[in-house]
Amino acid sequence: MLDNQGALRRSFFLPETAMSLSARLKAASRVAFVHFCISLLGVLGVATYVFLVWFPAELYRLTGGIGLFVVLMLVDLVCGPGLTLVLFDTKKSNLKWRIDIALIVTVQLTALGYGVVQIAKTRPVYLAFEGDRFRVVQAMDVDIARIAEAPIPLQTLSWTGPHFVGVRLSAPTEPDYLSSVQESIRGFHPAFRPSRWVEYEMQTIQLRSTSKPLSELQKKASTPKDALLRGVRATGLSEERLGYLPLVGDLNTDWIVLLDLQTAQPVGWLPIDGW
C-alpha cells in the first residue's frame, strides 16, 4: 500500500508529465495570443468609434461614464485570452473546445455589449445654445417619451456625434415661466426638453449678439494662452473673426465653444474657462 502511494507521488513528477504540461502551456499560449490579437482589434475598433465619433475632441471630459467603459474594455481584453490560456488543451475533442470557445466569446461579448450600452447612454447628442452658453445634452438627459414634442428634424438622437441645436427660453411674461425655472432648479434644463428645441440656424442673430470677443478671454490671467492660440489656429480663421461662449456639462463647466462671428457656426471647442 505504501509502495503504491510512493509510486503515485513519484509519477506526478515524471519528466513525461512535466513535458506534457509544458507542451500544453506552449500550445495554449499560442492560441491565447491569437485570441488576444483578435480581441485587441475588436476593442480598438469599438474604442475608436466611441472616442472619435461619439466623443470628438475629448468631449468625454464633459460627461460621465467613460471610466466604466474603459474598465470593461480592459476586462474584455484580459478575460477572453486568459480563459483561453486556462481551458485550451490539445487533448480535448473539437466539440468540447468549440463549447469552451463559445462560452468564452459569450462572456466577452456580454462585457463588450454592456460597456457599449452604458457609454451610449452618456454620449452627447446635442450641443445646445441656451441663452448665454452652450450645454452638452447627453442621451440620458432626454426623456425619449417626449421626443415628439421637438421639431420633426430634431426628433432623433444622433448616433454619429453631437449636433448643434438652439433652445427657446421662456420669457418672464409667459405663463410657463415659473414652472420652467423650477424644472431648471431640479436639473431639468431647457436644453434637455425637446419642446424647447429649435433648429440652430433660427438663432443666428442671437448667437452673434451674445458671443464674446476673444480679446476678453485673452485678458484673463487664468486663460492658457498657448492652448487658446493652438485652438484658434486649428480653425483656420483670424482672431478678429472668432468669438466664444461657455460650454457646460453636468461634471465640468470650464470649456468654451469657438464661433465664426460671420456665420455664427461653431468651429471648435477648447478646455478653457469661459466664465
Domain that holds residue 253: 211-275
Are the C-beta atoms of residues 245 and 216 closer than 8 Å to each other? Answer: no
The verdict on 88 and 35 lying in the same domain is yes
The verdict on 155 and 257 lying in the same domain is no
Torsion sign over Cα 233, 203, 156, 256: positive
Can you tell me the mean pLDDT for 9-38?
72
In this predicted model, what pLDDT tens digit does every residue of 172-194 receive, in sequence order? 777 777 777 777 778 789 999 99
The verdict on 259 and 229 lying in the same domain is yes
The verdict on 225 and 190 lying in the same domain is no
187, 209, 231 — which closes off a domain? Answer: 209
The answer to whether residue 196 scores a pLDDT higher than 90 is yes
Angle between helices 15-49 and 94-122 (to 10 degrees): 30
Flag whether 1 is in a domain.
no
The verdict on 91 and 143 lying in the same domain is no
Give the pLDDT of residue 18: 53
Q: How many domains does the chain have?
A: 3
Q: Please, what is the average pLDDT of the chain?
A: 86
The verdict on 62 and 117 lying in the same domain is yes
The verdict on 148 and 225 lying in the same domain is no
DSSP 149: G
pTM, full prediction: 0.81
Give the pLDDT of residue 17: 57
Are the C-beta atoms of residues 134 and 247 closer than 8 Å to each other? Answer: yes
